[in-house]
Structure 1
Amino acid sequence: MILDKSLLDQHNSQGNALHQKKYGLLASVLQDEGHNVNTILERLAAFQVAIPSWALGTGGTRFGRFAGGGEPRSLEEKIEDVGLLHALNQSSGAISLHIPWDIPQNPKAIQQLAASFELKFDAVNSNTFQDQENQDYSYKFGSLSHTDKAVRDQAIAHNVEVIRHGVELGSKSLTIWLSDGTDFPGQQNFRRSFARTLDSFEQIYAQLPADWKVFIEYKPYEPHFYSTVVADWGSSLLFCQKLGEKALGLVDLGHHLPNTNIEQIVSRFLMEGKLGGFHFNDSKYGDDDLTVGAMRPYQLFLIFNELVDGMTSSEIKNPELSWMIDASHNIKDPLEDLMQSVEAIMIAYAQALIINRPALEKAQLQNDATLAQEILQNAYRTDVRPLLAEARFKAGAALNPVGFYREQKIRKELIKQRGEKTYSTGL
């Protein structure tokens, strides 16, 4: 769906007076506090969050799935939806594909279509957590860690195929989430399972192009609840250190045990130069895959505090990060949910950018916990949404993306074009 630019301009014109009043007040305060507002706007404009192809339809639970209508029926329509998002917020300039859910049949045409929406391809994702049609061997008891070499070889070949698809599209990274694990004590030997997995990773790593990276994602439980091969950030880091400089850890915000200090994990990865990127989401209980910032916005801010500190510190030598969303919209319009998620990420980033870092460092050196908290919470409690709106306005996007989306009844138009009963590929 191609947006009518005149409707977007009309939307912005109607809301611009109030926006400028809010933005002017905030900009004045920030300048008085010593911030360069133009520099902040430039950083916000440059920050791009990749949209996963699997999140453009409604998700599901193990009990059922309730499609919302107008879902993209093909990879081409998924790209169109991401293009629509990017036109509305100018912060979603990349798409992350999951193979084999979204195998490009004509890579050149797909790349051209993405370029027409000013989109690039971020990390490509492999899938050895499901058995696919006509698959020779089952992953019921594991894939890259399986006791049977034939099964491991099949899983390795799949990852190599994913790399090939990524090369054709101009991607530069592979994400591996390994669901391998056990359900009962004694089911597998932990040491040997790790060794088999490392051997599989090494074979995949050897197939990476020179300018590529591989992201090793971790998860403490699910689908296996006794043990997981890559169960935590330490396991991920250990694999990455053994593999080499092109191997980096990937942090999914939902992949942690309750009350885990994720911001400290982020700091540790950055210290070692081994942070590859994020799958952003939120959770109440476990891997809920909720809208980013829906439950723990302060935690998200604290994570970005560590990220901004790491990205601006001369002491940290970490590669450029990949920012991706990984969410499941069981009852919400997926496009609205993704817009809200991107907004929440941008808010946390903007709040982290306005932290008074010299004052914070001084308070830390003086062990002044009260002042350090005041400095952080002053930034967190600042309503930075006018900054985001101004960055969008300058880029030609919508002042209020969700508001415009609803005003124009875009979901109804998608249903009209695609049908009420359409199902997107993915979970």
Structure 2
Amino acid sequence: MRLEKYQIDEHNDKLAQQHKRKFEFLAQDVQGVEEIIQKLIKFQIAIPSWALGTGGTRFGRFSGGGEPRNLEEKMEDIGLLHQLNQSSGAISLHIPWDIPENAASVKALAAQYGLKFDAVNSNTFQDQPNQQHSYKFGSLQHVDKAVRKQAIEHNIEVIRHGVELGSDSLTVWLADGSSFPGQLNFRNAFNNTLESLQEIYAALPDNWKVFVEYKAFEPNFYSMSVGDWGQSLLYANKLGSKAYTLVDLGHHLPNANIEQIVALLLNEGKLGGFHFNDSKYGDDDLTTGSIKPYQLFLIFNELVEGMDAKGMDHATGLGWMIDASHNIKDPLEDLLQSVEAIMMAYTQALLVDKKALEQARLENDVVRCQEILQHAFRTDVRAIVAEARLRSNAALNPVQLYRDLKVRESLVAGRGQKTVATGL
């Protein structure tokens, strides 16, 4: 489904007067508001191809109907999201869930929707049909060299697909680990994983990066072979200059100080990208900003400060992507909400008075430090984010327009009620 320009224009016209009043009131008190708006216009968050359908848990999956049945329909849905917010201009593929059969035609279709291809993701956490060796007991760490070789070859195949599509990075997430004491020799597992990653690293094109993702638990609950940011950083340092750590906001134990992790990885030049979501307990895969919005702001505060210190471009210096699962929400509405939350947290971080904060730190004025941060966080920046959308010819209120146009009903009518997207 494609939106016509007049549909967005009519929507914006209805909200224009109210928006203008809110934006002008806010802009009076925001220094450098024009610079902030330009940064927001540039900032893009990649949408994962596997998030366009209904996710689920081991207890059930409740499809809302109209799910994309193939890669082309997934790209159509992301194109729609990008029309609505002009901040979702990239797609991230998980292979073999979404194998581009004809790379040239897929690239051409992406161009029609104004999309580029972000990181490509390998999958060695599931067995695929007709797969020779099982990943039940691991992939890159496996005690059987033949299984490791199969996993390595899959990653190299994913790189080839990425090259054809114009991507420039590979994300490796491993479900490898153990569920019981004694099951695994930790040192051997680490060394096997490292040797496997080194072979994958050797296959990277010169301009590519590899992101090593970590996760504290699940599907293994005693140990994970890349269980935290320290282990990921260890692999990245041993691999070389093209290897980086990828932070998924849900892949930590409860109450982990993710903002400190981010700061240290940036300091070491080893932060590669982000997977945005939110959680109450662990890897809950909830809508970004729905549970811990202050934490999201604090993370962005460290990102902005650290990237500025390194002279990095906010829009292109790191890989930005959503990674969530939608079991009870319309996936497209959920993704619109996540993008909005990310843009708001980024905007609030840009509002922080960094000179005043640094001076308060030098004076050990703890109260002043808190006041400076919370002033930025408590600023309602929705009108600034909406103004950036308006100047990009997107919708002032993407979720409202999505509902007004009955997009989900149209997708159900065209695709059917019982369709199931590939992937999760």
- Contact 1:271-1:316 at 8 Å conserved across structures: no
1:11 aligns with 2:11: yes
Deviations 1:324-360 (A, max 9, x none): 0000000000000000000000000000001000000
2:203 & 2:399 partners in 1: Cα distance? 42
Question: TM-score, normalization: structure 1?
Answer: 0.98
How does 1:397-412 map onto structure 2 within 5 Å? 397-412=394-409
How does 1:312-323 map onto structure 2 within 5 Å? 312-314=308-310, 320-323=317-320
Unaligned runs of 5+ residues in structure 1 are none
Matching residue within 14, 33, 54 for 1:58:
54
Residue 225 (structure 1) shift: 0.2
2:310 & 2:136 partners in 1: Cα distance? 46
- Contact 1:273-1:317 at 8 Å conserved across structures: no
Give the equivalent residue in structure 1 for 2:337: 340
Give the equivalent residue in structure 1 for 2:178: 182
How does 1:251-290 map onto structure 2 within 5 Å? 251-290=247-286
Q: Which amino acid aligns with 2:8?
A: L
Give the equivalent residue in structure 2 for 1:143: 139
Residue 303 (structure 1) shift: 0.1
SS in 2 for 1:118: coil
Q: Which amino acid aligns with 1:20?
A: K
Q: Which amino acid aligns with 2:300?
A: F
Matching residue within 124, 149, 153 for 2:120:
124
- The 1:99/1:293 distance shift into structure 2, 3 A limit, reads same
Residue 367 (structure 1) shift: 0.8
Q: Which amino acid aligns with 1:298?
A: Y
1:111 aligns with 2:107: yes
- The 1:87/1:142 distance shift into structure 2, 3 A limit, reads same
2:224 & 2:255 partners in 1: Cα distance? 19
Give the equivalent residue in structure 2 for 1:27: 27
Residue 391 (structure 1) shift: 0.4
How does 1:132-281 map onto structure 2 within 5 Å? 132-281=128-277
Give the equivalent residue in structure 2 for 1:2: 2
Residue 64 (structure 1) shift: 1.6
Give the equivalent residue in structure 2 for 1:87: 83
2:26 & 2:308 partners in 1: Cα distance? 24
1:388 & 1:212 partners in 2: Cα distance? 32
Unaligned runs of 5+ residues in structure 2 are none
1:333 & 1:141 partners in 2: Cα distance? 35
SS in 2 for 1:60: coil
2:135 & 2:233 partners in 1: Cα distance? 24
Residue 315 (structure 1) shift: 7.7
How does 1:37-56 map onto structure 2 within 5 Å? 37-56=33-52
2:238 & 2:378 partners in 1: Cα distance? 42
2:313 & 2:190 partners in 1: Cα distance? 28
- Contact 1:270-1:316 at 8 Å conserved across structures: no
1:326 aligns with 2:303: no
Q: List structure 1 segments (4+ residues) > 3 angstroms apart after TM superposition.
A: 314-319
How does 1:338-417 map onto structure 2 within 5 Å? 338-417=335-414
1:339 & 1:174 partners in 2: Cα distance? 25
1:403 & 1:365 partners in 2: Cα distance? 46
Q: Which amino acid aligns with 2:318?
A: L
1:354 & 1:320 partners in 2: Cα distance? 20
Residue 316 (structure 1) shift: 7.8
1:97 & 1:316 partners in 2: Cα distance? 25
2:67 & 2:311 partners in 1: Cα distance? 46
Q: Percent identity?
A: 67
1:314 & 1:235 partners in 2: Cα distance? 23
2:123 & 2:173 partners in 1: Cα distance? 8
Aligned length: 423
